[in-house]
Amino acid sequence: MSRPLILILCTGNSCRSHLAEAILRRALGGRADVASAGSKPAGYVHPMALEVLQEIGLDASAHHSKHLNEFLDKPVTTVITVCGNADQVCPVFPGQLNRYHWGFSDPAHATGTPEEIRAEFRRVREQIRLVFEAYAAGLQEVALSG
């Protein structure tokens, strides 16, 4: 039996969805496949997102920006949107059982000095980390009690 696929969606698939993908993948420890995509992919992963993931021991250098259409023929079990625009345009995927929306600020829009921008990426990373690690812990609890 294949592992469930959790797809994290954002508009640009350059920051928030990649932060969430890397954090959730580690938190689940291989119990599910985790991917991210966007409704209007930026075509790159923001370097600052990669940097702040590296700070917590996550290497996302192999991540790339993808369109959500790449997943329309895949058995997506759970869709999680991390921005309002993606939530509004999110299609239903084959096999989809669950859908969640947890919105986060887009750190790519941060302004100021490089350190102020980095601080915003860290702040959003920590918000995403809190939510997605709690989600993973809840999935573990359900699996152990089921």
Active site residues: 10, 83, 90
131 CB contacts (<8 Å, ≥6 apart)? 102
Q: What is the CA radius of gyration of the chain?
A: 15
What are the beta bridge partners of residue 6?
A: 34, 78
Beta strands in 11-146 (DSSP E): 33-38, 76-81, 98-101
